[in-house]
Amino acid sequence: MGVAIAVAGLLGLVLVLLAVPLNVDFRVDGIQPFRGQVGVRWLFGLVRTRLPFPAASRPGPKEPVEPGGDPRRARSGRRSRPRNVLAALREAGLRGRVQRLASDLVRAVHFHRLRLLVRLGLGDPADTGRLWAVMGPVNAIAQSRGADVRIEPDFLEPVLEIQADGRVAIVPLRILLLAMGFVLSPPTIRAWRALRGDRA
């Protein structure tokens, strides 16, 4: 009985802490790898931290190649990942679920100041068009909330360029609940299986 009360008390404390607004200042610039910094203030200023983005990513370890293996096969495996991502984007119901999540997230955030310019493309006009069908409405919703947001599709080149500067306030508990609802939804589960290459 005492253990159950302690666990319930701890869970209640965690929920209370997650319900405290989190203030985030950020500045992001460039094409991958991005440069910038994020400042976080929580618990009414008692917790403060600032996280800089590295100017360049460190080279990762080389992928091991089995004895007698063909390095070209390993490269072809890496090339198959974008195809899996596109297969996930084509899953029935996922586009509507992503639009709903993005709209809920925009509404859950309180914008003190936001200037955001995003240029994105997948290298294929049709695939970029599918992605823009999701991002276009999000762009309109963010602008209706008073944010200076411009999301521009690039139908010619694969690119992700971001220029952002702002200050927002979020409630972590609300964001967590929205994320859990999205992750556990049937369209997301089917898309995850497609991303892994599962046919079942």
| Residue 12, C-beta contacts closer than 8 angstroms, at least 6 positions apart | none
67 is a domain residue: no
In a domain, 193, yes or no: yes
Q: Is the pLDDT of residue 148 over 70?
A: yes
Which whole number is the average pLDDT over 150-161?
85
The b/e string for 126-155 (b: 16+ C-beta within 10 A; e otherwise) is ebbeebbebbeebbebbeeeebebebebbe
Does residue 124 form part of some domain? yes
> Are 105 and 175 within 8 A, CB to CB?
yes
In a domain, 69, yes or no: no
Query: For residue 171, what are the domain limits?
Result: 93-200
- Alpha carbon 75 to its chain's center: 26
Token pair 């990762």: residue: 60
- The pLDDT value recorded for residue 198 is 55
The answer to whether residue 57 scores a pLDDT higher than 70 is: no
pLDDT digits (tens, 9 = 90+) for 161-191: 888 899 999 999 999 999 999 888 888 887 7
Torsion of the alpha carbons at 19, 24, 29 and 32, rounded to the nearest 10 = -30
CB 22 within 8 A of CB 172: yes
SS3 104: helix
For residue 49, tell me if it sits in a domain.
Answer: no
Strands (E), 47-171: 47-53, 110-122, 148-153, 158-170
**What element of type H or E holds 30?**
strand 22-31
Q: Tell me, yes or no, whether 120 lies in a domain.
A: yes
The bridge status of strand 158-170 relative to strand 22-31 is antiparallel
Whole-number Å distance between alpha carbons of 179 and 17: 18
> Is pLDDT of 50 > 80?
yes
Copy the structure tokens of residue 115.
Answer: 């200037």
Q: Chain-wide mean pLDDT for the chain? A: 76
How many CB atoms are located within 10 Å of the residue 118 CB? 16
**pLDDT computed for residue 176 by the predictor:** 92
Please indicate, yes or no, if residue 99 is contained in any of the structural domains: yes
User: In angstroms, rounded to a whole number, what is the distance separating the alpha carbons of residues 111 and 97?
Assistant: 23
Q: What's the pLDDT at 122? A: 81
Tally of structural domains, the chain: 1
Higher pLDDT, 63 or 197: 197
36 within domain boundaries: no
